[in-house]
Structure 1
């Protein structure tokens, strides 16, 4: 009994000692508030004692810098992107060719790209230029970069996204497969930024090793429409066909709509008014891209016949093969019958942007700020 009593007393003493140690450690450990107070005491005179705390919580401060490379045709846009964000710096590539015509490429300061966030601004407007850009696109992720983003504003084969007869080739799927094989970077799959792809379901053409991010140039147009509305213009949004309506109508809540449709008359395709009231209004035709421009011109003529006060147009991608942009006439003030009051397009197609800049009725809307926002990590 005596032994048992001594053991119980020893256990009780040990338990009291353990509790004392815990309470002492709690007293010695500074609280979060005390830590901030100590930091405040160490702050220099005139310095905000909590500045480092607020900066660490600021998402803008936490964003990391990005090195943006670009093709020769996208240099002007790349410089605008860099000017739009202090976090984006431009990289350099030497674009040369061997005697046989194949590309001779060199990425400058490649050894400094490790763990950096890297992006490439591409333009596939000319099939002859795709191979040399793919060579760079496949090389950059292998340089132990922290992450890799490919910015391809215009996905050129987007309109060839389906097969209607056996034997046709859906080249949209082909290009998507090529881009889906971009090597992984240290940060994982490549982020692929595309503006106003022709059909949203094309996202399913890409494999799991690339993350497509579909952006839109429509917010740039809406900013222009707000200016016209503030100036007293009555704006109506028109769509050249039902496909364009399905693609873009959700961007324009609150705006009256006009929907056109294409019908066949023998070998001709005629544009007719399906629904809406354009009379007396400034009608803005919206679509994702323009090629020869025939459909837009037919829509303009139809809307003028229906009494539209002015007709303008917007496309994200002005392809305009064979300088077909020259077909578009300007309506300076007389009315819709004379042509287009405004023709807004972005600089997603560099050769077109250079050709139409400063020429009425064309108004360039730059994708620089949306691209800069997409590159911020």
Structure 2
């Protein structure tokens, strides 16, 4: 009988048709996913995109009716423990204090569950905008949350905390010891989108990038310039009691402008 048919993978062809992010998504370490209350849709999408790498275990997030305190039942432990000795990806969302504290309860428990490694994906770090104090008595919440993450129980290697476009780069040093920041950016994805977008029938394609202040330009401007986009920088100018936003550098008359901050 003829030999069974086997599909032949052509790596060169895959490089052409598959974006680099897709290759990275489907190749690599296998993760067990635990997700915060608002992140479960993302967990389902990850598992659907790359089932060979990601396995999602839903968690029961509830509260005791008499006290209002958290009653959490982490997924992946029943009927048999599939979390111990595995690499765990925790999808976190710190959008409010109540949900954040519930997720810290879960993170402490995971650290004490003999996992091989723990990665926290925290796409948006909302406390990053309060990283300093201008007078005594002010609380720099970026510091306190950084301390809480850094004080999670040790699970062998440091916990990797993945954050996208952190407000200020020096924020990363608030995380240390048991939790280390891993910084990422969505700018490459934005650039790919701008290259592939279908131009608006009225306005046309994006032809210039604007930044609301000099700090944003210094942080994100270079890759846009390297890809040929004209860059405009704005700034707040005081005129009496008014604060007016004006262009301080560059020009965008007649351009279809995208504001990046």
SS of the equivalent of 1:162 reads: coil
Give 2:168's match in structure 1, choosing from 199, 206, 211: 199
Q: TM-score, normalised by structure 1?
A: 0.57
Structure 2 runs not aligned, ≥5 long = 10-23
The CA deviation at 1:146 is: 0.9
Deviations 1:208-261 (A, max 9, x none): 221211111222221221134878635111000111112111231221110000
Which one has a bigger Cα radius of gyration? 1
Aligned position for 2:68: 101
Matched-pair contact (CA < 8 Å) for 2:88–2:115: yes
| Farther-moved stretch of structure 1 (258-267 vs 129-138) | 258-267
- 1:259 to 1:109, Cα distance in 2 relative to 1, 3 A: closer
State the Cα RMSD in Å.
Answer: 2.4
Establish whether residue 72 from structure 1 lines up as the match of residue 72 from structure 2. Answer: no
Aligned position for 2:123: 153
- 1:267 to 1:281, Cα distance in 2 relative to 1, 3 A: same
Deviations 1:174-219 (A, max 9, x none): 1111111122224x11010111110011111111221211111222
CA distance in 1, matches of 2:232, 2:76: 53
Give 1:213's match in structure 2, choosing from 182, 185, 189: 182
CA distance in 2, matches of 1:203, 1:262: 28
- 1:201 to 1:143, Cα distance in 2 relative to 1, 3 A: same
Structure with more helix by fraction = 1
The CA deviation at 1:120 is: 0.9
- 1:234 to 1:135, Cα distance in 2 relative to 1, 3 A: closer
What does 1:7-86 align with in structure 2 at a 5 Å threshold? Answer: 63-86=28-51
- 1:234 to 1:105, Cα distance in 2 relative to 1, 3 A: closer
The CA deviation at 1:79 is: 1.4
Matched-pair contact (CA < 8 Å) for 1:229–1:235: no
- 1:168 to 1:61, Cα distance in 2 relative to 1, 3 A: closer
Establish whether residue 249 from structure 1 lines up as the match of residue 221 from structure 2. Answer: yes
Matched-pair contact (CA < 8 Å) for 2:26–2:50: no
Matched-pair contact (CA < 8 Å) for 1:225–1:235: no
Establish whether residue 275 from structure 1 lines up as the match of residue 249 from structure 2. Answer: yes
CA distance in 1, matches of 2:26, 2:167: 36
Give 2:238's match in structure 1, choosing from 223, 242, 264: 264
Give 1:127's match in structure 2, choosing from 90, 97, 102: 97
Matched-pair contact (CA < 8 Å) for 1:161–1:173: yes
| Farther-moved stretch of structure 1 (59-68 vs 158-167) | 59-68
The CA deviation at 1:113 is: 1.2
Structure 1 runs not aligned, ≥5 long = 1-44, 52-58, 288-377
CA distance in 1, matches of 2:104, 2:119: 13
Residues paired across the two proteins, number:
233
| Farther-moved stretch of structure 1 (272-281 vs 159-168) | 159-168
Aligned position for 2:56: 90
